[in-house]
C-alpha cells in the first residue's frame, strides 16, 4: 500500500510540473457530535456513551497526462457509525486508486474500478457513501471497441471490503452494441449480453462446509466453489416509446435464506439453489404526458461475495436489483421504504405525469410488491399535483396511501404484537403498517436571489409508533446562504392505556433540527443541530436501519 502511495505521489508531482491544470479533485468530510438523550433512545452506542464524536472524510484526486487517467482517494474514519449504526469503526488509508490507458481501439484499467453490466442485475461495482457502500472491484478491466457502435470488455478481481478485499474471485465479460436500421426513422436497438462468474475462496468454502455440518440431515445442502450468472438486455426506442428488457439467470449458489424453516424449529439457513430475475421498463412521453411502467420478478437472486450475513447486511453484494417503489424525498413519506427482496418478489410500478397547462401538472405513482406466493409486501398509491404561478411561486401537494410489511422489511413485528417475531419471519400472519400521509411543499421567490420554502407532512397510522407530523421552513439567499428549521412531532395515542409501552414511548416528543449552509463557488459548509427518530434510510433502493440520532453535524465539501 505504501509503494502505491509513493508511486502516485511521484506521478502527480511530476505531472503537475508539466500541466498543473489537469489535476482535479474533491473533498468531503462529515463530523458528528453525539449528545446522549435517554428520553428519545439516543444511548447505548460507543459514540453516545464515551466517544462523543465521529467523523468520515474522503479526499479524491484525478490526473490526466501522457494519455493516462490516474486517480487516488484517501479515506479516513474516526469512531464512525456508518459501517455499523450500533458500533464504531476507525481506520484510514488508500480507499481507491486506478490507472486507465486507451490505445487506439483498446483500453485497459487497473486498480479499484466502478462499472456495471446492463442494469446491474448480475454485476455492479459502485459507491453509495450515505450508506457506506463501496463495492469497487479491485482488479483489471480491458475493453475493445470494434467500431463506434459495438464494444466488448472483460474484468477480473476481488470485491473491496473497506481497506481489504473479500476472498472470492470475480470475473466477467459483456458485449454491447447499438443498431439503427434506418437513419430516417426514430427506431434504435441497444442490445447486450453479459456473463459473470464468482469463485468462493478456500476460507469461505470451509466456513460453508462447517456451517452445513451442524445442520440436521434434512437441512443439509450441497456446496460448490463456482457460480455463474448470465444476462441479456436491450433498449429499444421507437418514436416516443422506450422499452428496456433484461433477463438474468444464475446457476446453483449457496445463499442465506432468512425465511426458510429449519428442523430445529427456527428460521434461517444456508440453501443451494439457482435463481433468475426478469426486469422490464416501458416509457412514453409526448404532448405533456409521461408514463413509465416497470415490472420485475426475482427468485433466489442473492449474488454475494460470501453467503453469510455481513455487518451491515448491505455489505458484499456483487449485483444490484432495481428498486420498484417511488423514491420519496419527504421525511414522513420516506419513513417506511422497501428494500429489494433478493430471495423473491414480483412487483409493478406505474408512474404517470400529465401537464394540463403551463400552470398545472398532475401525477400518480402506484407501486405494488408481493412475494412469489402473491402475499402483499408493499403497496403505495401517491397522487400529486404541481401548481406554478409564473416564476414567483410553486405549490406541490399530494397524499401517500401505504401498506407496508413490517416483519419482512425490518425483521420485527409491529409493537402491538411483538411477542413472537419468528412467527412472522417464518411466514405466519404478517403484521402491516397502514398509513395515510398528506404532504405539501410551497416555494416562494421574493427576488431572483431570495426565496422561502415550506413543507409539511402528516403521517396518520395506528401502527408501529403511531402518527407523526413534520414541518420544515427553509430560507435561501443565493448564491451563498441557506438556513432551515424543522420539527418532527410524535402525536400521542388517543388512549395510551390500550397500547404497550414500546408503542407509546415517543408520545409527545419533539425532534427539532436547525441548520445553516454556506456556499462559496465550489465549496459548501454546513452545520446543524439534529434530533432524528430511528428509522430506515434508503438510497437507490438499498436500505438499512438507522438508530435515533441526537447531536450536531458538520459537513464540508469542496471541488477543485
Residue 496 phi/psi, 5-degree rounding, is -60, -20
pTM over 0.75: yes
Task: Give the C-alpha separation, 404 to 437, whole Å.
Answer: 13
pLDDT at site 213: 87
pLDDT at site 421: 35
Per-residue pLDDT of the chain (560 residues; tens, 9 = 90+): 554 554 455 455 545 544 444 789 999 999 999 999 999 989 999 999 999 999 999 999 999 988 899 999 999 999 999 888 889 999 999 999 999 999 999 999 999 999 999 999 999 999 988 888 899 999 999 999 999 999 999 999 999 998 999 999 999 999 999 998 876 678 999 999 999 999 999 999 999 999 888 888 888 888 899 999 999 999 999 999 999 999 999 999 999 988 877 766 667 889 999 999 999 999 999 999 999 999 999 999 999 999 988 766 778 899 999 999 998 989 999 999 898 999 999 999 999 999 999 999 999 999 999 999 999 999 999 999 999 988 899 999 999 999 999 888 887 765 444 443 333 333 334 488 999 999 999 999 999 999 999 999 999 998 888 899 999 999 999 999 999 999 999 999 876 656 676 677 788 999 999 999 999 999 999 999 999 988 776 655 566 777 889 999 999 999 98
Cell numbers for 20: 498543473
Q: Is 332 exposed, middle or buried (0-12, 13-18, 19+ CB in 10 A)?
A: buried
- For 30-69, the DSSP string reads EEEEE--BGGGTB-SSHIIIII-EEEEEEEEEEEEETTEE
Q: Is 17 exposed, middle or buried (0-12, 13-18, 19+ CB in 10 A)?
A: exposed
The answer to whether residues 346 and 367 touch, using CB atoms and an 8 Å cutoff, is: no
- Domains, the chain, in order of start with CATH, read 1-103 (no CATH), 105-275+298-317 (no CATH), 323-560 (2.40.160)
pLDDT at site 3: 43
The answer to whether residues 456 and 331 touch, using CB atoms and an 8 Å cutoff, is: no
- For 208-276, the DSSP string reads HHHHHHTS-GGG-----SEEEEEEEEEEEEETTEEEEEEEEEEEEEEEEEEEEE-TTS-EEEEEEEEEE
Neighbours of 490 (CB within 10 A): 20
Cell numbers for 218: 434434512
Amino acid at each position: 500500500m505504501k509503494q502505491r502511495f509513493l508511486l502516485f505521489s511521484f506521478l502527480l508531482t511530476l505531472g503537475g510540473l508539466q500541466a498543473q491544470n489537469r489535476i482535479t479533485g474533491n473533498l468531503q468530510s462529515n463530523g458528528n457530535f453525539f449528545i446522549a438523550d435517554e428520553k428519545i433512545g439516543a444511548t447505548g452506542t460507543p459514540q453516545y456513551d464515551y466517544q462523543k464524536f465521529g467523523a468520515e472524510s474522503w479526499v479524491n484526486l484525478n490526473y490526466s497526462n501522457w494519455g493516462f487517467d490516474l486517480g487516488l482517494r484517501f479515506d479516513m474514519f474516526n469512531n464512525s457509525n456508518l459501517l455499523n449504526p450500533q458500533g464504531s469503526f476507525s481506520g484510514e488509508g488508500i480507499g481507491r486508486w486506478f490507472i486507465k490507458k486507451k490505445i487506439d481501439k483498446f483500453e485497459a484499467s487497473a486498480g479499484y474500478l466502478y462499472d456495471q453490466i446492463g442494469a446491474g442485475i448480475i454485476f455492479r461495482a459502485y459507491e453509495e457513501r450515505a450508506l457506506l457502500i463501496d463495492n469497487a472491484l479491485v482488479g483489471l478491466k480491458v475493453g475493445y471497441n470494434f467500431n463506434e457502435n459495438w464494444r466488448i470488455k472483460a474484468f477480473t478481481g476481488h470485491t473491496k471490503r473497506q481497506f481489504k478485499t473479500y476472498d472470492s474471485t470475480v470475473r466477467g465479460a459483456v458485449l454491447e452494441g447499438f443498431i439503427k436500421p434506418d437513419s430516417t426513422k426514430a427506431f434504435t436497438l441497444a442490445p447486450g449480453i453479459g456473463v459473470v462468474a464468482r469463485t468462493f475462496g478456500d476460507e469461505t468454502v470451509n466456513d460453508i462446509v462447517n456451517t452445513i455440518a451442524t445442520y440436521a440431515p434434512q437441512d443439509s445442502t450441497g456446496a460448490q466453489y463456482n457460480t455463474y450468472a448470465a444476462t441479456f438486455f436491450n433498449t429499444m426506442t421507437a418514436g416516443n416509446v422506450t422499452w428496456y428488457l433484461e433477463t438474468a439467470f444464475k446457476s446453483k449458489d449457496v445463499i442465506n435464506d432468512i425465511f426458510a424453516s429449519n428442523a430445529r424449529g427456527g428460521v434461517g439457513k444456508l440453501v443451494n439453489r439457482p435463481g433468475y430475475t426478469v426486469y422490464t421498463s416501458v416509457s412514453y412521453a409526448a404532448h405533456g404526458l409521461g408514463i413509465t411502467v416497470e415490472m420485475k420478478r426475482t427468485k433466489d437472486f442473492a449474488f454475494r461475495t460470501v453467503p453469510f450475513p455481513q455487518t451491515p447486511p448491505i455489505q458484499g453484494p456483487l449485483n444490484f436489483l432495481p428498486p420498484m417503489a417511488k423514491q420519496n424525498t419527504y421525511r414522513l413519506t420516506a419513513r417506511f421504504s422497501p428494500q429489494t427482496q433478493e430471495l423473491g418478489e414480483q412487483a409493478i410500478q406505474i408512474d404517470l405525469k400529465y401537464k394540463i397547462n403551463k400552470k398545472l401538472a398532475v401525477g400518480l405513482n402506484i407501486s405494488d410488491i408481493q412475494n412469489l406466493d402473491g402475499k402483499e409486501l408493499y403497496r403505495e398509491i401517491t397522487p400529486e399535483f404541481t401548481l406554478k404561478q409564473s416564476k414567483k411561486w410553486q405549490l406541490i401537494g399530494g397524499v401517500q396511501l401505504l401498506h407496508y410489511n413490517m416483519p419482512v422489511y425490518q425483521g420485527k413485528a409491529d409493537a402491538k404484537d411483538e411477542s413472537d417475531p419468528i412467527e412472522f419471519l417464518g411466514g405466519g400472519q404478517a403484521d402491516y403498517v397502514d398509513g395515510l400521509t398528506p404532504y405539501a411543499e410551497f416555494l416562494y421567490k421574493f427576488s431572483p436571489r431570495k426565496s422561502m420554502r415550506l413543507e409539511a407532512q402528516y403521517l396518520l397510522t395506528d401502527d408501529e409508533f403511531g402518527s407523526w407530523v413534520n414541518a420544515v421552513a427553509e430560507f435561501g439567499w443565493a448564491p451563498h446562504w441557506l438556513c432551515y428549521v424543522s420539527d418532527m412531532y410524535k402525536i400521542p395515542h388517543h388512549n395510551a392505556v390500550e397500547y404497550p409501552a414500546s408503542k407509546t414511548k415517543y408520545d409527545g416528543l419533539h425532534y427539532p433540527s436547525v441548520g445553516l449552509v454556506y456556499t462559496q463557488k465550489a465549496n459548501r459548509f454546513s452545520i446543524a443541530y439534529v434530533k432524528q427518530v430511528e428509522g430506515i434510510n434508503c438510497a437507490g433502493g438499498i436500505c438499512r436501519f438507522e438508530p435515533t440520532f441526537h447531536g450536531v453535524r458538520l459537513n464540508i465539501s469542496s471541488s477543485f
